[in-house]
Amino acid sequence: MSGIEAIVGAGLAPYLALIVFGFLPSEVWRVLGVFLSRGLDENAEILVFVRAVATTLLAAVVAKLLVFPSGALVLVPLWARLGAILFGLGAFFLARRSMIAGVVAGEVFLVAAATFAIETP
């Protein structure tokens, strides 16, 4: 039994390792970012640019996942994946630009369409 397992028990050692090596290193940078960004103007030109680039990268990743899927999403037809995008966008705008409404509506549409579109052998 190693030293860490003697302290936390054999069953909890992997969770402690996950927190120490996965969560804490990234959390330090988040906290540091909060303290360093206190004096920044949210509408500064550089931050508007950074936000635009981040949004574009996220949109590109989502588009890549939906147009060229991998894993279980390959089984879902293209019409269902694109329909989920349109349905989610519609819900987003109908719910007065509510991000959660758009995401939930898109997911519900995708799961429902996949359920009816995928033929089981």
Q: What is the pLDDT of residue 3?
A: 62
Between 11 and 107, residue with greater pLDDT:
107
Average pLDDT over every residue of 5-24: 76
On the question of pLDDT at 104 being above 70, the answer is yes
Question: Within 13 Å of residue 84, how many CA atoms lie on the same side as its CB?
Answer: 22
CB 84 within 8 A of CB 113: yes
pTM score, whole prediction: 0.60
Which residues have C-beta within 8 Å of that of residue 118, sequence separation ≥ 6?
75, 76
Distance CA(73)–CA(68), nearest Å, equals 9
